[in-house]
Structure 1
Amino acid sequence: MNLSSFLTAACLLTFSFAASSQTTFPPLGGTILNADGRSVESASVHLLKQKDSSVIKIALSDKQGRFQLEQIAPGKYLLSVSYTGHKQLLLPVQLTTDTAGRHVGILHLQTAVAELSGVTVTSKKPLIEFKAGRTIVNIESAITNVGATALEILEKSPGVSVDKSGVISLKGRQNVLILVDDKPSYLSGEGLIALLNSLPASQLEQLEIMTNPPAKYDATGSTGIINIKTKKTKTKGLNGNLAVAYGQGRYYKSNNSFNLNYRNNRFNVFLSYALTANRNFTDLYAYRTYQQPVLSYFEQFSYLGSKLFSNTGRGGVDYFLSDKTSMGISFTGLNSSRDGDGRSPGQWMNAAGVKDSSILSTNSTTSDWKNHGGNIYLRHAFSKQQDISVDLDYLAYRTEGEQFFNNTLTGTTTTTEISKGVLPADLVIFSGKADYTQQLSKGRLQAGWKSALVNTDNIAAYSYYNNGLWEPDAAKTNHFVYKERIHALYLSASQHYGKWELDAGLRFEYTDYDAEQKGNTTRKDSAFSRQYGNLFPTAQLTYKVNETHSFSFSAGKRIDRPAFQKLNPFVYQINKYTYQKGNPFFRPQYTWNFEVSHQYKQLLTTTASYGITTDYFSQVFLNDTSGIIVYTEGNLGSMKNLGLSVSTQLAPAAWWSLSFQASINHRIIEGTVYNRLKASLTQANLNLGNQFRLGKGWAAELSGFFNTSQQELQEITEPTGQAGIGISKQVLKNKGSLKLNVRDLFYTQAMNGNTTFQQATEYFRLKRDTRVVNIAFSYRFGKTFKDTRKNSGISEEIRRVSAG
């Protein structure tokens, strides 16, 4: 069974079962007021089973404080109502089929409420939440996320896909800005992959997906922003949680974490640690056809194995000087090492398909990533209407990499080529920002500043083995130094006008960079620089027809700057016949995005979008007469994207919740590589999630995703996807949980495709260790309450350092 058939069958099975089993019951409703008798909008209402506190239904109150829960069967329940700044209200409810008994009347939220002895509330957020301008994915709500890394979670998120090189796309388009707790890592390529693989799901809380971010965020990321939010313990006293997970595919995977927090009225001290140990493999098959200088073929099978071991730590102290002022300091640290080895036998064939020579390539790589950073912040509220925050950040990376290549060529004679490379790199970032907020009678005014100073120093020292001695290879050796300054100012305002709400902003960013490639015996020093400034307007207009329907329109301009390393003009060796090269003439690309959305309650969101990109950049694939393929990037032309997405979240039964997202995008790319090229393709992304509450602390999940063919100017990949199942059990008085899942159940998450070069074509097929059985245990202690501590630090420049 292929994946598309599986998803179709799963949909038909779940919907037909619901249709045959559902009975109509009257709704349960009420009205929520605060201590002053005013209605409370957007209060969170959870209906729980009285027996085991499992969540049955979730709703939000409207502007009049009213809420309604549909299709509630007779039984004994607990009604939980919570709202920021108020104490939780917990009310026992016994329902019959009597309609009159299904309205609980007026519920008052007080500043204090007594605990209900003997009751433990284990409310669970829905997997997907739709909010104005953003989609929220609650990571812990999916059982199949257990044992996964941040990269694997992104891969199965709505509208998100990851290609064979680890490049992340949103709704079929690349150049997504990835943040972690509103902060960038300034990494791309292998560096970003290493970071995301070091973040276990047990330390992550949410993904926040924004396709048209407001002016407060950096303008980087033409497709939008994905903000990965980590868990933060927010309980008084000493508390924390522990999570351990073990997975087995062809090889082992282990992701573990520990969080500790202590808080009193003056201090909040927090510390977290994560340990990741994974072994992986990649099977890659490539078949190249060369038309020039003569017709020939090259076939290669590659096995690439790797071991990853990483330690990640985070800690800090918050000090509450008064009710209006707080300050704090925090640190982050990452130590990650990856060892890899590869074996790639290949053969050359003539025009008749007869073998005339062969090659055996072996290689080994080691990469050590060291990262440390710190943040100092100050928050002050002048009044209930005015506040200001200031952040200073420091972030440093040190990469130490080594490569070793051994190529044995067999033809009329046999020759062996041995080479190695030492690749150290340093990256240091200083950043400062300030944000001011002024609350208005029916709106808000925001203004801010940010500056980021980036310094990189990359060395690639290659040598080859000759007559028993290692000799420098000056043609491949390179030393690249890059300095960048980005300064930004923004102003934004939001205002309510009856049923209308307008949020508009303007951001100015000025970029100034200098780059130098130091010379050696084969070339002279060379340098280049660039300065440019741009305005980036954003706007969102929302019209709320009633409590059921709302419409919104948004528009915004975005920028994508080339990754630092991709400006480096040196050649990086991947294997004997494949190289990667930077482009010092690489320019930014600019995108205008437009969206029109309709939302029906929290059940259905439909969005139509249009985007146009100028100076569009993409990977460029070149080849020469020696058979070497060169990967580079450049500004090729323009790209237009027309999209339609539909997201729904349903509760077909009290024990079952279902989420489904589909996006369809039609892309037209026009540009010049070796001649004028044009590519167009309609592509789709589907995500299906089923959550089942089985009672007595048991829960289950059935989920999957499917991506149709994806295309760039020179490359097209075939459809891919996966399905997953999982089951969980609450233990230890609901403070612990045991979870078991299988990801990529049918082992369908392969990647096949075709690449077109100037004088050659290549078919490739790639498989990884994606089918994994995971078992996990987690335990938490402490008593939750709302914390006022905010995220801080460097903001949105992730993804711009290429590690290879």
Structure 2
Amino acid sequence: MWLRTTVYLFFLTTIVTYAQTPGGTINPTVPVQSGQPVSPSGGENPVKGNAKISGCAIDSTMTKAVEFANVALYETTSGKLVNGAVADEKGRFLLTRIAPGSYRLLISFLGYNAKSVDNIVLTKGQAKDIGVVRLTASTRTLNEVTVAGKKALVEDKVDRLVYNADSDLAAKGGDATDILKKVPMLSVDLLGNVTLQGSSSVRVLINNKPSSILAGNLADALRQIPADLIKTVEVITSPSAKYDSEGSGGIINIITKKNTLQGLHLDVDSGLGNRNATLGLNGSFRKGKLGLNLNGNGRLVYNPSASDLNQTTYLASGATPVRTNQHIDAFDKGVFAQYALGLDYDLAKNQSLTAGVRLGIRNLNQDQHQSTTILSNEPMALPSKRDVYSQNLSNSIDVNVDYLHTYAGTGDGSKKEFSLSTQYSQNKLTNNFDANQLDTLGLIKTRQRNLNDATNKEFILQADYQVLVSERFQLEFGGKNTLRQVTSLYQYLLASPTSTFATDDSRPSGSLTYDQNIAAAYVSTTFTTRSKLAIMTGLRYEYTSIQARTGGSQTGGSRTGGSSTGGQGSISIPDYGRLLPSINLSKKIGEGTTVKLAYTRRIRRPFIDDLNPNFNTVNPLNIRIGNPYLKPETVDRIEAGYSTQVKKTYLNFTLYTRLNTDDIQSISQRSDTLVGAVVTRVTNLGKEYNYGSNLFATVNITPRWSVNGNIDVMYRFIQGLTLDINGLSTLISNQGFRWGGRMDTQLQLDKGWAVQANIGYRGKDINLQGYRIGFAQYSLGARKDFSNKRGSLGIAAENFLTRGMGFTSVLNSAQFDQDFRQYIYNASVRATFSYKLGSLNGAKVKKNKSLGDEN
């Protein structure tokens, strides 16, 4: 059914898309600096020959490509326009079929001063590489009004969508989630959980690399990354075969700021508000072949929250239900820090070495005051009170060393490239809590402690080789091996008000060791036809072997000064291999319209939180436990896209469908040992269908004022096994629509002022056993740049019209009904400050720039 429905939808989409697209072949045009296209003189065909000119357009101050720059070739003597081209997304351009003679090359793009390369003399059949051409940003003064070229907030590239966080004023002083909630196709709930086109199974990279910072709870990890450190966010829904298959929903690549200016340089960013405070330093030194980058960022967060739980559990047919009411008041306090040291060194003209060390610290503490009433046949009972102090700690390190060797071609730029990458990562996670059970007078009756230490270690070795076989065909292949080890130690202790802690024999204790070895190989090809059809195909094979074992109950353990008993038990998890094909088609129609069609197969392996068998009872009515027996989830995804530029408006429309098998989801059931409690486990549910669409538009009303809008709609069908009232497995399903949208506007004012406003809504979201209601978020920001362009002052406010927000989750099954409402007091106002110190001498241009910019 999924396949038939999908084929029908995309066949219909293709017919409609091409019916609305003007036909015919459009002759290449060469836009001049004003942005208005012109054709070769008199409409004649360019001068024919067999010589070539190639090069690369680079931003002079940022050492980045000027994507889609305009390239025009003029005869020196007559000044006649004879040839032209548009650079690709990496700034590279190639002009072919040129007759012998003397020429002048003009390279231009909106927001840059045109650059002329004179006295280019070509002989018959010559292939001339003019190398790197640096364009400088243009600024014109008209009656005391400064107009400068500025980067768009959102850019659409061949295989990804890019959100430029530098242009986001309201996120300054926040964290990564404040950025991600404004990125098209992404959605972030009030707890910081991220979904990509409705899927929570996303692979998050930092600078094209995995990071141990992101191991464990992703929402908490993203709070470690300050918004001021983020340069861009790339959303990749149909990754090529070069990327790991993990992240069935797609990839989010967070690119951090890196300075490439010569000399010593230091950026200072800070913020202070009613919910957080930040301080960040980003320094660099570059001289000759050596470049160093060092940054350190710290954040303090302080935020109250609350929740109400109304729950009914059904013990058996005909038995009296148990009703439970609970109210929690809580306060979160956290310290987040991140430090990174990067080095790059040019070993030779065509060889470079890069290395980096990244440290991450998370220290999040929460105080909870729980008041619970459990009712059955007896009259209203007095509520029981429980105070809980929980710790969510993380210390992570990533170390990487990468080598790149490019091989010069015969005139068309770099023809071959070999890269070797290594990375070691380690993340130590601690999730402990202390709970005091109180009597009616508020005095301690008993004390409980849960100790849970987990470690995630990973070593990666990867080799890649690229070759530009011809002007239209590129071949890439490589291999990768990932060694991963996850360990978890967990234990419950019990004490009276005055005694020391001792092992609680009524609670499960033990350990988990989970070793995973992933061997992968891939091949990828890119072919561009003369009719501007780009075909990217890939095939990746991954073989995963797993060795897992559990430890027996602990009767003291080293952490309490005693000894531990219990043997090791092996978990039988079969090895598995997966063949993962991908194909991306992109057809350029004219100069402003592109049609795309893509198919990918990806998998999701369980995260450390999914595997952790610790019986977490921070809230004894809502208990969570992991599952080390999880299988990988497999996802088949088809996507069709249409994008066009109509005058000052850019439109991007996407249709997608996704089939998940062995879906990794949470399932809840009543507890057989704790009356009135519900236990949530992670399991392979069954299957899930998703059909969705996304529409993004940006309108440049004036050169100073832009508006961006995003609307997404998704239909979800999910099916899996749960337990009936007698504890027997039964097949259930749920389905429904979810929609959401956001609007963002930016306005550049005189004298360095800029303002930005954002509003977004996320609709009702369903899962197998229930749903969660929708919610809205909004923000407003303003910034004043200093006259010397080295610094700025700003103010940002979020959800400031109310104290906070509440949203409700509803779960229903044969065993229980649950209504859980959370209150997030996220109204915030903060002031921000940034300043640049040091040299502002031009950037160093690396001659051995890679053929690709993927991981």
| TM-score, scaled to structure 2 | 0.79
Structure 1 Cα separation of the partners of residues 52 and 59 of structure 2: 18
User: Which residue among 108, 116, 120 is the counterpart of 1:108?
Assistant: 116
Match of 2:516 among 450, 466, 484: 484
- Given that residues 136 and 208 in structure 1 are in contact (C-alpha distance below 8 angstroms), is that contact kept between their aligned partners in structure 2? yes
Q: Give the corresponding residue for 1:374.
A: 399
The equivalent residue for 1:506 is 539
How far apart are the structure 1 equivalents of 2:113 and 2:346? 39
Residue 184 of structure 1, CA deviation:
1.7
Does the Cα contact within 8 Å between 1:40 and 1:63 map onto a contact in 2? no
Partner of 2:828: 772
In the other structure, the counterpart of 2:574 is: 530
* Equivalence for 1:391: 421
2:342 counterpart residue number: 316
Letter of the 2:193 counterpart: V
Q: How does 1:197-596 map to 2 (within 5 A)?
A: 197-248=223-274, 252-292=275-315, 293-350=319-376, 355-383=380-408, 384-408=414-438, 416-439=445-468, 440-466=470-496, 468-474=499-505, 475-498=507-530, 499-520=532-553, 524-528=567-571, 529-596=573-640
The CA RMSD measured in Å over matched residues stands at: 3.6
CA contact (8 A) 1:617 1:634 kept: yes
Distance 1:640 1:157, change over 3 A: same
Residue 583 to residue 369, structure 1, CA distance change in 2 (3 Å): closer
Where do residues 778-789 of structure 1 align in structure 2 (5 Å cutoff)? 778-781=834-837, 782-783=840-841, 785=843, 787-788=845-846
Give the Cα–Cα distance (whole angstroms) in 1 for the partners of residues 581 and 420 of structure 2.
Answer: 24
Q: Does structure 2 retain, via aligned residues, the 8 Å contact 1:380–1:387?
A: yes
Q: Measure the CA separation in 1 of the matches of 2:149 and 2:180.
A: 24
- For 1:777 and 1:231, how far apart are their aligned partners in 2? 17
1:401–1:422 CA contact under 8 A, matched in 2? yes
Deviations 1:207-241 (A, max 9, x none): 10011111111111111111111111111111131
Corresponding letter in the other structure for 1:266: K
CA deviation after TM superposition for structure 1 residue 155, in Å: 2.8
Higher mean C-alpha deviation, range 657-666 or range 526-535: 526-535
Q: Answer yes or no: is the 8 Å Cα contact 1:167–1:189 preserved in 2.
A: no
Paired letter, 1:527? S
The one-letter code matched in structure 1 to 2:843 is F
| Matches for 1:590-739 after TM superposition, within 5 Å | 590-601=634-645, 603-625=650-672, 626-674=675-723, 675-739=730-794
Deviation sequence 1:239-292 (CA, Å, 0-9, x none)? 1311111121xxx40122111111122111111111111112221111112333
Which digits, 9 at most, give the CA deviation of each residue in 1:685-736, with x for residues without a partner? 2021100112221111111111110011013111112111111111141221
- CA distance in structure 2 between the partners assigned to 1:434 and 1:271 by the alignment: 27
2:394/2:430 contact within 8 Å kept: yes
Label 1:575 to 1:409 Cα distance change in 2 as closer, same or farther (>3 A).
farther
Q: Secondary structure at the match of 1:696?
A: helix
Is the contact between residue 235 and residue 785 of structure 1 (CA under 8 Å) also seen in structure 2?
yes
Assess, with a 3 A threshold, how the Cα gap between structure 1 residues 173 and 716 changes in structure 2: closer, same or farther. same
* Larger relative contact order (Cα-Cα within 8 Å, sequence gap ≥ 6): 1
Aligned to 2:46: none
Q: Which amino acid aligns with 1:442?
A: R
Larger mean CA deviation between 440-449 and 640-649 belongs to 440-449
Equivalent residues of 1:215, 1:490 under 8 A apart: yes
- SS for the counterpart of 1:151 is helix
Kindly state the Cα deviation for residue 410 of structure 1 after the two structures are TM-superposed: 5.9
Q: 1:116 to 1:403 in 2, by over 3 A?
A: closer
Distance 1:516 1:790 in 2: 46
The structure with the larger Rg is 2
Shift of 1:124: 3.1
1:572 to partner: Cα distance: 2.1
- In 2: Cα distance, 1:342 partner to 1:160 partner: 31
- Report how far residue 142 of structure 1 moved: 1.5
Percent identity among equivalent residues? 21
Letter in 2 for 1:286: L
Please list every run of 5 or more consecutive structure 1 residues that lacks an aligned counterpart in the other structure. Answer: 1-25, 47-57, 67-81, 94-103, 797-804
Cα deviation per residue 1:114-162 (whole Å; 9 max; x = unaligned)?
A: 9999999975321111112311111121111111101232233223223
- 1:182–1:791 Cα contact (<8 Å) kept: no
Q: Is the 8 A contact 1:431 1:451 kept in 2?
A: yes
Q: Deviations over 1:500-520 (max 9, x none)?
A: 110010111111111111113
Residues 1:753 and 2:809 are matched in the alignment? yes
- In the superposition, relative to structure 1, how do residues 313 and 146 fare at CA in structure 2: closer, same or farther (>3 Å)? same
Conserved 8 A contact 1:165-1:189: no
2:754 & 2:444 partners in 1: Cα distance?
Answer: 61
**DSSP 3-state at the match of 2:749:** strand
Which amino acid in 2 is paired with 1:206?
Answer: T
* SS of residue paired to 2:590: coil
Question: Deviation at 1:632?
Answer: 0.8
Deviation at 1:486, TM superposition (A): 0.8
Q: How many residues are treated as equivalent by the alignment?
A: 728
Match of 1:172 among 195, 198, 211: 198
Report how far residue 65 of structure 1 moved. 9.2
Aligned partners of 1:685, 1:40: CA distance in 2, in Å?
43
Name the aligned partner's letter for residue 424 of structure 1: D
For residues 478 and 152 of structure 1, what CA distance do their matches in structure 2 show? Answer: 38
**2:811 aligned partner, one-letter code:** T
SS of residue matched to 1:321:
strand
Structure-2 residue corresponding to 1:21: none
User: How has the CA–CA distance of structure 1 residues 148 and 116 changed in structure 2, closer, same or farther, with 3 Å as cutoff?
Assistant: closer
- Alpha-carbon distance in 1 for matches of 2:735, 2:678: 25
Contact (CA 8 Å) 2:627, 2:683: kept in 1 or not?
yes
Question: How has the CA–CA distance of structure 1 residues 487 and 121 changed in structure 2, closer, same or farther, with 3 Å as cutoff?
Answer: farther
Structure 2, unaligned runs of 5 or more:
1-32, 41-50, 75-88, 94-104, 119-132, 409-413, 556-565, 724-729
Q: Which secondary structure state, in structure 1, belongs to the residue aligned with residue 219 of structure 2?
A: helix
**Corresponding residue SS for 1:673:** strand
Aligned-partner SS, 2:629: coil
What residue in structure 1 maps to residue 181 of structure 2?
155
